[in-house]
Structure formats: C-alpha cells, structure tokens
Structure 1
Amino acid sequence: MWSLDPPAITARHSYDACVGATKDPGRRRLLLAAGDSVEAASERFRRAAHSGTLHELPGTGFTVPGIPAEEAVRWVYGNGMVNTRNGRAIYDQLMAAPADERCPLCGHGVVRTLDHYLPKRMFPALCVDPLNLVPACADCNHAKGESLPVSAETTLLHPYLDHIDNDPWLTARVVVTNPVWLEFYVSPPPTWGPLLADRTRHHFELFGLAELFAVQANRTLNNIRQHLTTVLVAGGRELVRAYLKDEAATRLAHRLNGWEGVTYRTFASDDTFCSGAFSL
C-alpha cells in the first residue's frame, strides 16, 4: 500500500456540490435537507477511522434520511458526482491524486476508478465522502468488492490514513526452479506493532500482491537475462551483483517498497542467482 495525501475537500462540501445541481425540485429539497445527517455520518466515519474501530461501525446509521439506499447512491454518486459539472470536478481531482496514475492499493496498476473504502451500497451516506473514495485500478477494485473488516486485524490499509512508505516492509526470496522465481512477502520492521503487521499482511493477501509482483519480477528477469549473461562472462558473479545493486538503489530511492527495487535487491543478494541461476 502506498499512501496519498488526504483530500482537502470536506465531506459536506462534496455532498452539497453533488446534490445541488439535481434538476427535480422535490428531490433536490429532500437531498439538501439530509445534508446535516450525512455530515454527521461522515464525522462518525472519521472518528472510527482514526481510532482504528472501523470494524465496529454498525450497518445502520449511514443512510440518507428518507431515501432508499439504492436511490441515494444513484442520485448522489451516480448522477451527482459522476454526471454533474461540480461533482465531476471533485471526482476528477480525487482520481488525479496518485503520481503517475499508479494505484495506491497495489503500487502497480493504473488508476481507472474510485473505490469506496466502505461499500456505498451499505454506507450510502458516505458515497461521495472524499475520505471514503480511493483512486484504484480496476483489478484492485474488483478484488476488494464489498468486503468489510470483521476485526481490527482485517481492516484494510487506507491510503489516506496509513503511512507506511517510510519503513521497509516488502521483501522477497529467490526460488531456484526452472524458471527461477521470486517469492514476495511482508517483513514488518521491528518498530511496527503486531496490529499494523497483521493489517499489512491481510492487505497483501486480499489483493494478491505476492502473485502480482512475482509475475512482474519474472518479466523483468526475461528482459535483462541476456544482459546478465554478458556481464557474467565479462566480469563474473561480482560484476553481476554490482549491476543489480545499482539498479536496485535507483529504484528503491524512488519507491522504498516498490516491487521493482525489491526485485533487483533480492537478485543482487543471492549468490546462486548472481552466479548464473538467472539462465534457468
């Protein structure tokens, strides 16, 4: 998981912007009248998020008063945020937050959608709350679905709230098979508590990051195998290692837990790989 700066847009501003352009006068009055209740729901969401108790939020109390959940989501999010000028401006601003359009949930895919951290069908009052809207790739959005935390340990990392980028937690090992493979896993630093470690592992497993990163690492190896062979012939194992360490340093300086940097670092640290196992 790779962090993003929390949106500066308030939940109330987003809601008012999304419902203010509703064309039907009666519907607009009904939606605007629910503003205080929606704002209160957003405050409860924030308190739970900051206190680590999102898994304790009840299934009630997050409705838009007087409006069935399905209609509220359609009117506020579908019509108001996606299809009106003011709402769409907020949508586009949230979508543009990740650098290089990189999905913050997996660190690899291209952002294509806004994922509702708490599902909009079950929490319609939060359907346009910026804190509940995370830019994501389509694969991560699909993998997450409408999953809800059942405990503190199964609460997914939140890109706006959980900042773990400054600590090295992603690592891998070389598996010498035919072909050679990398096995990625979470290795929490000693400064982390057990809860953060468990949440990171759960996030890693839910989104299938071990498999995703292994596939990408294998593609990287296929792209550099010929060069590694040339370097090995020219200067032996240590020259191969030096090349891989340089490549790792460049990538890790940009993304400490990026799969690319970890891939090169892992290759460089393995004597068998540097001695020619990359040719398997």
Structure 2
Amino acid sequence: MWKVRLPDAGDIDDQLDTALTLKSGEKVYDLSDAERAAIHSLYADYDQRLGEPDAALQPPALADCAEALHGAYNQVQKGQRLASLRSRLLSAVMECPLCGSGDATTLDHHLPKDEYRALAINPRNLVPSCQPCNRAKGTLAALAGQGMIHAYFQVIPAVTFLKANVTYAAGSLEVVFSIEPAGLPPALADRLTFQLDRLKLTERHPDAINIFLFSQKVAFRLFRGNPGERELLRQFLLDGADTLDQDLGLNHWRAALLKGLAACDAFLDDPWAYLDKPPPAMNAG
C-alpha cells in the first residue's frame, strides 16, 4: 500500500514500434530519429523529476507525434499489441497500491494522459490500481507537489503515519482512518491526507475490514475464556500488526486496524459481541 517497486522501463524502442505499427506492418505513425531520441529524453526527464508535473514534460519537439502516442494507449488494453506491458505491470503487485484491498485490474496514468500526451505509454507513468480507485482519482489537475503521491517515486520516511481510530459499542465496529503528520514533511502529510480523502478509503473499507477480521476469527477463539484473555487478545493484535508491517511494509490499513483495535478498551473487553455475529455483509438474509 502507498508504494510499489519501480518497474523496469523495458525496451522503449520496441514498445514504440509495437504501439505505432499495425500487425500488417503498416505504420500508424513513423517516428523520426529526432522524435525517437526526444521520447527517450522525455522518459529520462520524467524519472529525474520523479513523475512530478512540469511543462518540461510537454516538449515542443514531440508536438507532431504526441497525438499518436496518446492514441497508442489503446494498445495497452487486453488483446492489443502492448497487452504484454499491461500484464507485466499488473502482475508486479498483489493488490491495488492506492487502497490496499482491491485487485489491481487497471492502469492509472499518474500524470493525466490528456495533458501529458507523449507520456501515455510510458511504463513508469502507468500505476496499477483497482477500478474504484481509478474512478475516485478521476481527472485531477496535475500540480507539482500536490495531489496524489507517485506510487513508484514518492520518498516516504520509515515512520508510522496511518492511524485507525476505532469506535466500538454493542458489537458495532466503526473505523476511521487518518494521517498522523508527526514525523512527516508537512507537504507530504498534506498529500497523504488528500489521497486518503480523495479515494474515500474510510468509506470504502468497512467490507474489507469485516472480511479481514472474520478471517482471523479462529485465532481469536484460541484466547476465549483463558486467564488474562484481554491481555492475550491485545498482544495478539499487536503481534499481528508487527507481522503485517514486516510483510506488507509500514502503513498498510490492516496493520493500522489491528493497532487501533489493540488500543480500543471496549473491543478488548468484549470482542465476541462482534465476532459471534455473522459478518455484517451477510445479514441481509
């Protein structure tokens, strides 16, 4: 969640040739040597700028071919000429890095393709995401130092900043996620908060929370009725959070949730009022 490994850019010339050449061999657009060199420079400049928006990423030298490159994104779809690029990027993640719960089935343009047309098939501008996150992000205006962080390039300090504030009463669980700014550069804290709000992660996660916690039900039951049950449960939650921090990286929502539950006295006093009921999503029947 938040960050994923920077993908290999791959063979840029091969990607360009595949995108701009029909299977019959007919050229959709015949790049000049100067345009091809300018695309290589553009991709390198994108990396150097860590994917932050800048007018320099809209070079006049590519004005003539920008429309063809923009249209070439259609070839990244399933069954098209650059489908292998799509598969490579999506298979590199276990889940959507933006929300940490959905399946990554789409590619999101970090810098919008309609504004940065020559970057439309740059692999490092294509971030795996789930459809709800892609829709929620929408067509944000690209402003340097603002908006969504770049899942490939953003530098994030090794501190815990994602908090889960848990309210629990009569077996009903409510979780609100927030960003703790301490230890973060103010601008980064603002971007993380913006992303949390823009993607509506608190509103979208109740089902994922219920599925996750009920998947732990067998483990919870091991402590039921034991001497010191409350402390055993608290330590189990904290140990689980530590394991998730190690396995999934800091600030995954699952780890934040377990820490929030460990700090919730009402839940520790009687988790069974929640766990003994069917999962809320199954109550319709």
TM-score using structure 1 length: 0.79
Is the aligned partner of 1:276 residue 2:276?
Answer: no
What amino acid is the match of 1:77? Y
Quote the residue 2:279 is aligned against: none
Q: What code does the residue aligned with 2:28 have?
A: R
Whole-angstrom CA distance in 2 between matches of 1:246 and 1:26? 58
Kindly indicate whether the alpha-carbon contact (under 8 Å) linking 1:112 and 1:137 is maintained by their aligned counterparts in 2. yes
* SS state at 2:165 partner: strand
- Which residue does 2:282 correspond to in 1? none
Q: Which amino acid is the alignment partner of residue 75 of structure 2?
A: N
2-structure distance, mates of 1:251, 1:68? 43
Tell whether 2:126 aligns with 1:128: no
The answer to whether the 8 A contact 2:69-2:119 is kept is no
**Which has the larger displacement, 159-168 or 114-123?**
159-168
1:162 equivalent in structure 2: 154
Moved more, 106-115 or 143-152: 143-152
Greater Cα shift, 26-35 or 143-152: 26-35
- Correspondent of 1:173 among 165, 171, 175: 165
AA aligned to 2:208 is Q
Query: What is the aligned partner in structure 2 of residue 264 from structure 1?
Result: 258
SS of residue in 1 equivalent to 2:127: strand
Q: How many residues end up aligned between the 2 structures?
A: 270
User: Which of these residues, 199, 209, 226, is aligned with residue 191 of structure 2?
Assistant: 199
Asked if 1:77 is matched to 2:73, the reply is yes
The superposition leaves residues 29-66 of structure 1 with CA deviations (integer Å, 9 ceiling, x where unpaired) of 2577742343344344334436xx52x43896479543
> Mapping of 1:7-86 within 5 angstroms?
7-9=7-9, 12-13=12-13, 14-21=15-22, 23=24, 25=26, 27-29=28-30, 34-49=35-50, 53-54=52-53, 56-57=54-55, 61=59, 64-66=62-64, 69=67, 72-74=69-71, 76-79=72-75, 83=79, 85=81
Letter in 2 for 1:158: H
Counterpart-to-counterpart distance in 2, 1:107 and 1:19 = 34
1:213 paired with 2:205, answer: yes
Give unpaired runs (5+ residues) of structure 2. Answer: 275-285
The share of aligned pairs that are identical, in percent, is: 25
Paired with 2:218 and 2:42, the residues of 1 have a C-alpha distance of 58
Q: Deviations over 1:93-147 (max 9, x none)?
A: 222221x2x1111222111011111122222211111111111111111111221
Larger CA deviation: 237-246 vs 129-138: 237-246
After superposition, what is the alpha-carbon deviation per residue over 1:178-203, rounded to whole angstroms, capped at 9, x for unaligned? 5121221111342x211111111111
How many Å apart are 1:214 and its aligned residue? 4.1
Amino acid across the alignment from 1:175: T
- Distance (Å, rounded) in 2 between the aligned partners of 1:37 and 1:180: 55
Q: Taking structure 1 as reference, are residues 228 and 94 closer, same or farther at Cα in structure 2, changes over 3 Å only?
A: closer
CA distance in 2, matches of 1:229, 1:25: 65
Q: Counterpart of 1:109 in structure 2: which amino acid?
A: G
**1:252–1:262 Cα contact (<8 Å) kept:** no
Match of 2:281 in 1: none
- Of 82, 88, 92, which aligns to 1:93? 88
Distance 1:81 1:218 in 2: 33
Give 5+ residue unaligned stretches, structure 1. none
Give the structure with the larger helix fraction. Answer: 1
Contact 2:38–2:62 (8 Å) recurs in 1: yes
**Whole-angstrom CA distance in 1 between matches of 2:84 and 2:60:** 25
